[in-house]
C-alpha cells in the first residue's frame, strides 16, 4: 500500500526532457516474454506496506536510475522509486522468473519479485550494507534479509546487540523493527547465483549513493557484510562528501576505517563483517559470537554516552 505523499509526486522528467514512465505505464512489461505469467506478480501498490504506487516513476536505464535517485525529494520517495526499478534487464528477468516459478515450499505464497528498497530507521545511527537480496528470501518477502537463513543469523545478533526489536525476520508484516538502524543492499535485485555483474552494480549504485546522502548526517557506523559490499560502497562514500583514508583498507572481519563526515562534524566508523551466508555459517567462518562482536562494537561507537553494549539475551 502506498502513502498519499508517495502518490502525490509526479512522474519525473529525464535530462533530455522526455517523460520517464510511471509504474502504470510499464505494467505491460511486468513479466518478460511470457504473458501468461503476468497475473502471478502482485501489482504495484498492492503489497502490504508497498512504498510505491501507480504514479511512482520507473527507471528503465542507468541514466534514469541516476536521475531519479538524485532527484528524489525525500527518503520515502527514494525508497518508492527503488522498489519499481527495471534498469537491469537480466536481473528484472531473473527476479520475476523466480517469483513466478517459486520454490516448492513457497509455491502457495505470492512473491515480491521487485527490487528490495532500503528499510529501517529514517534517521539511522547504523547502516548495514549487504550484497543483494536472496532469490527466495528478500525477493519473496519484499524486505532485505527477511525469510532466509542468512537473515535468521543476522537478526538474532541484531536483537542480542540492541539493534532489532525481535530475534527473527520472516515477513513484511511480522512486526519486526530496526532500532536506530537501516539496512540496504548494494545491488537491489536478486541476481542469478548471487552474483551481480559489475555493470549491474554500477547501474544500481546511484540508489545507494542517494540513500547514503539522505541519512549521512545521523550516521555513526556502517557495517559492510562481505567484501563485495565493502568494495561497492567505497567510491560512493566519497561521492557523498565523506573524507576517506588512503589507501583503502583491505576488507576483513573486524576491519575498520574512519571516515570524516563534514555533514555532522564528526566521524563515521566503517566496519567489515563476514557475510552470514549459509556457506559461511555452516563452515564456522562466521559465528554468532563474531557477529555479536561487530554489532556490539557498532553499538558502543554509535552510542558513546552508554557505559557499554545494550544486549538482549
Rounded Cα gap, residues 145 and 141, in angstroms: 9
Rounded Cα gap, residues 285 and 287, in angstroms: 7
Q: Which three cell numbers stand for residue 119?
A: 528499510
Choice between 96 and 152, CB closer to ligand SF4: 96
Tell me how far, at minimum, the Cβ of 88 lies from ligand SF4, in Å: 3
CB burial of residue 104 (10 Å; 0-12, 13-18, 19+) = exposed
Tell me how far, at minimum, the Cβ of 268 lies from ligand SF4, in Å: 24
Q: Footprint of ligand SF4 on this chain (CB under 6 A)?
A: 65, 82, 85-88, 91-92, 115, 187-189, 200, 203-204, 207
Tell me how far, at minimum, the Cβ of 197 lies from ligand SF4, in Å: 10
Tell me how far, at minimum, the Cβ of 86 lies from ligand SF4, in Å: 6
Tell me how far, at minimum, the Cβ of 67 lies from ligand SF4, in Å: 12
Tell me how far, at minimum, the Cβ of 65 lies from ligand SF4, in Å: 5
Tell me how far, at minimum, the Cβ of 42 lies from ligand SF4, in Å: 17
Tell me how far, at minimum, the Cβ of 29 lies from ligand SF4, in Å: 13
Instruction: List residues bridging with 271 in a β-sheet.
Output: 223, 256
Instruction: List residues bridging with 286 in a β-sheet.
Output: none
Compute φ and ψ for 147, nearest 5 degrees: 90, 20
CB burial of residue 185 (10 Å; 0-12, 13-18, 19+) = buried
Tell me how far, at minimum, the Cβ of 190 lies from ligand SF4, in Å: 9
Compute φ and ψ for 246, nearest 5 degrees: -125, 140
Residue linked to cell 575498520: 256
Choice between 184 and 222, CB closer to ligand SF4: 184
Choice between 209 and 303, CB closer to ligand SF4: 209
Choice between 88 and 236, CB closer to ligand SF4: 88
Is the CB of residue 181 less than 8 Å from the CB of residue 163?
yes
Choice between 187 and 223, CB closer to ligand SF4: 187
Choice between 85 and 271, CB closer to ligand SF4: 85
Choice between 25 and 165, CB closer to ligand SF4: 25
Compute φ and ψ for 18, nearest 5 degrees: -75, 140
Is the CB of residue 115 less than 8 Å from the CB of residue 188?
yes
Q: Which long-range contacts (CB under 8 A, 24 or more apart) does 113-116 make?
A: 113/41, 113/42, 113/139, 114/44, 114/83, 114/84, 114/142, 114/189, 115/82, 115/83, 115/84, 115/85, 115/188, 115/189, 116/83, 116/142, 116/143, 116/144, 116/185, 116/188, 116/189
Amino acid at each position: 500500500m502506498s502513502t498519499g505523499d508517495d502518490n502525490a509526486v509526479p512522474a519525473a522528467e529525464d535530462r533530455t526532457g522526455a517523460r520517464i514512465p510511471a509504474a502504470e505505464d510499464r505494467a505491460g512489461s511486468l513479466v518478460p516474454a511470457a504473458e501468461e505469467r503476468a497475473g502471478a506478480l502482485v501489482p504495484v501498490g498492492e503489497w502490504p506496506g508497498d512504498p510505491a504506487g501507480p504514479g511512482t516513476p520507473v527507471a528503465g536505464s542507468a541514466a534514469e536510475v541516476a536521475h531519479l535517485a538524485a532527484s528524489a525529494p525525500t527518503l520515502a520517495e527514494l525508497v518508492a522509486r527503488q522498489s519499481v526499478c527495471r534498469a537491469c534487464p537480466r536481473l528484472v528477468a531473473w527476479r520475476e522468473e523466480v517469483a513466478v516459478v517459486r520454490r516448492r515450499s513457497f509455491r502457495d505464497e505470492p512473491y515480491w519479485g521487485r527490487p528490495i528498497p532500503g528499510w529501517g530507521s529514517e534517521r539511522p545511527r547504523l547502516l548495514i550494507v549487504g550484497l543483494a537480496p536472496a532469490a527466495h528470501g528478500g525477493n519473496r518477502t519484499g524486505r532485505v534479509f527477511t525469510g532466509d537463513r542468512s537473515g535468521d543469523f543476522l537478526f538474532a545478533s541484531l536483537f542480542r546487540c540492541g539493534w532489532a526489536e525481535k530475534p527473527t525476520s520472516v515477513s513484511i508484516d511480522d512486526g519486526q523493527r530496526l532500532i536506530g538502524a537501516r539496512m540496504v543492499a548494494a545491488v537491489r535485485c536478486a541476481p542469478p547465483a548471487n552474483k551481480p555483474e559489475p555493470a549491474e552494480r554500477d547501474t544500481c549504485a546511484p540508489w545507494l549513493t542517494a540513500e547514503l546522502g539522505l541519512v549521512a548526517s545521523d550516521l555513526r557506523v556502517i557495517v559492510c557484510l562481505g567484501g563485495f559490499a565493502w568494495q561497492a560502497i567505497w567510491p560512493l562514500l566519497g561521492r557523498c562528501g565523506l573524507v576517506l583514508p588512503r589507501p583503502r583498507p583491505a576488507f576483513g572481519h573486524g576491519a575498520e576505517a574512519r571516515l570524516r563526515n563534514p555533514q555532522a562534524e564528526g566521524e563515521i566508523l566503517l566496519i567489515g563483517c563476514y557475510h552470514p551466508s549459509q556457506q559461511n555459517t555452516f563452515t564456522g567462518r562466521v559465528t554468532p559470537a563474531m557477529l555479536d562482536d561487530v554489532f556490539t562494537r557498532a553499538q558502543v561507537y554509535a552510542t558513546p554516552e552508554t557505559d557499554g553494549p545494550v544486549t538482549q539475551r
